[in-house]
Structure 1
Amino acid sequence: MSTRLRALGVVLATVLLTGGCAAGTHPGAAAMIGDTEISIGDVDKTSRAVGAALGESYPDQAALNGMVSNELAAQVGRQKAISVSDAEIADAAKNAVAPSPEAYQKLQADPASRAFLDKLAATLIVTIKLAGGKGIHDADGQQKAQEGVQALNAAAKDIKVTVAPRFGQWSDGRLDTAISGSLSKESDQTAAKRKAAEEAQQQQQGQG
């Protein structure tokens, strides 16, 4: 998978934790960013579409992480009056975000993966411009993107993000799958499943 996608923080471990809906969400909602809702259905549709385009599994957590980041960037961009043109998005999507020309074509073929790619591109542009850059073709674009991430996190600190516990918890500008929603530790059921899996793996290694 593209290192550029990793740089945007959209690739996460596939740790599924149990739990109900966190305060601020309702059944069917994966996350709330301010007054904007991301539905579980949209997350599932996006993860399946992106996975199909990339030819590999793309977890729901990875999709949701990107979707929340994209929404935060969009809201901060509006607050800061940062303009992003369709031409800039198309350029960044093809030349800075898509893993390869072939992947770009496949991502463009499905409406769900195309929307996700375009929003990732818009997020990258907003991030660079927050740091005073002009776009992806800046000589110091990579440095501006890194500086922009800090600026984006600072600007988004007052935007409330609530994630349904089954996906994890939003913390420090990313989706943390090590904890479930507002819970400070994993549930007993999750702990039992993890322990059983670890013991089974150890037994297999011993037999080998």
Structure 2
Amino acid sequence: MRDALLARLHTHLHSLLPSARLRPQALPQLPSVSLWLMDDLMREQALEPAVINALMDAPPYWSFCWASGQVLGAWLRDHPQWVAGRTVVDVGSGSGVVAIAAAQAGAARVIACDVDPLARVAVSLNAAHNGVTVELSDDLEQCLALADCVTAADILYDRDNLGLLARFRAGARKPAVMLADSRIPDLNPDGYTRLGQQQALTWPDLGESREFNQVRLFQAG
């Protein structure tokens, strides 16, 4: 099972960067979670323009653990009462770090919702690697109808996703929402309370601008 999932992810990565590979890595700010992530080898190579264009057209978000995911996962570790015994829907799961942290924190049910089929493969691989159960879905409306809690980390790299913040809270269940973002410094969404700001790096370190190392946490409901 693991080998089949890895093979599928590697097939995609090798179509973009033939020497790329994934390896399990413990997260600096959340060592209880280990994820199959891009090897550092990627950063040591000068990439051809065609490869850069391919990566930009179809970025493998799931092969990195983004800064906001680490911060939100660590927050759930430190505040397990927020998810314990509840149904948690993690939106835009990517590598699955937040979904896995929610499961480790005692959530009764965790659903990772992501439109990218390869991200869902990565979540399945990483959940099994960490010994937790995470369900997979690409149907946001169906997921929100089940949610007691919604989590989302670094989904606002696309400003078109801002509308999701109101949508998370509009369902009949009125779920609590936990949001982490490093992309919009002046973010102040209606109905959300800012809890604070933490510094973190995407892992493996992409050498991003320092402004993207500042993660802001918001809570609603």
Do both proteins adopt the same fold according to a TM-score greater than 0.5, normalized to the shorter chain?
Answer: no
Report which of the two has the higher share of helix: 1
TM-score normalised by length of structure 2: 0.27
Report which of the two has the higher share of strand: 2
TM-score normalised by length of structure 1: 0.28
Q: Which has the higher contact order (CA 8 A, sep 6+)?
A: 1
Larger Rg: 1
